[in-house]
A = this chain, B = another copy of it.
Amino acid sequence: MAAEGPLLLSLDLSGTFVFALNGAMTAVRAAKLDIVGVVALAMITGLGGGIIRDILIGAAPPATFRDWRYLAVAGGGGLVAFVLSRALNRFALTITMLDAAGLGLFAVTGTSKALAFGLGAGQAVILGVITGVGGGTLRDVLIREIPTVLYSGLYAIPALIAAIITAAATRGHLYGSPAAVAAAGACFAVRMIGVHFDLNVPGPPGARANRGKRATGGDGF
């Protein structure tokens, strides 16, 4: 854990920040919330994945409530996005990119922290995916959207790729900053390629998959 501490913390805080920006921008665009609602949704989006992860691996109270920097980064990210919302909104792509970045970062921290707590590799991978998609799923439920993870095939898959790379690197004693960045980067790249080419995975045999776009924006460019 000695070497893992600072790496986990920096990845976690980065994921918290980008998800907080994403949550705040979603709040401004999709739900037209006021400043308290924007900061609240930013904090839930930024902190949700890590809180779910820590509760599930038995690390309560979650890191969020032990280290003040989590709350500061999430709240600060929400305030920044609130103030800059007009400027940021010119880049419709930004929300999607921040979400993809947070997805990869949290998939890595979820997997690596689960392994550090003694879970098996398969379970750690699933926990990594849950950590990656958790904050965004809470965000979507609260603003009454169907969560992206359910209807967009190429959302869980990139998180799964990051989680598998992390677990494999850890098992091969190769885990460290380069592997973590590579895993999160692979997730980001696959997610953005999927969004750009509007790729999807197959629907049920004989049925049409639901490729409907969200009316409220926030996904796709």
> Which A residues fall within an 8 A CB radius of B?
27-28, 31-38, 40-41, 51, 55-58, 60-62, 64-66, 68, 71, 82-83, 85-86, 114, 117, 119-120, 122-123, 126-127, 137, 141-144, 146-147, 149-153, 155-157, 200-210
Q: Which of B31, B33, B201, B207 contacts A36 (CB 8 A)?
A: B201
In this complex, the member of A31, A37, A142, A143 whose beta carbon has the largest number of chain B beta carbons within 10 angstroms is A37
- Cβ contact within 8 Å between B60 and A58: yes
Tallying the copies of this chain within the complex gives 3
The secondary-structure label for the interface of chain A is: helix
By a CB distance below 8 angstroms, the chain B residues around A147 are: 142
- Cβ contact within 8 Å between A204 and B82: yes
CA distance A34 to B57 in the complex (A): 29
Q: Which of B28, B71, B205, B209 contacts A207 (CB 8 A)?
A: B28
By a CB distance below 8 angstroms, the chain B residues around A56 are: 51, 55, 60-62, 65
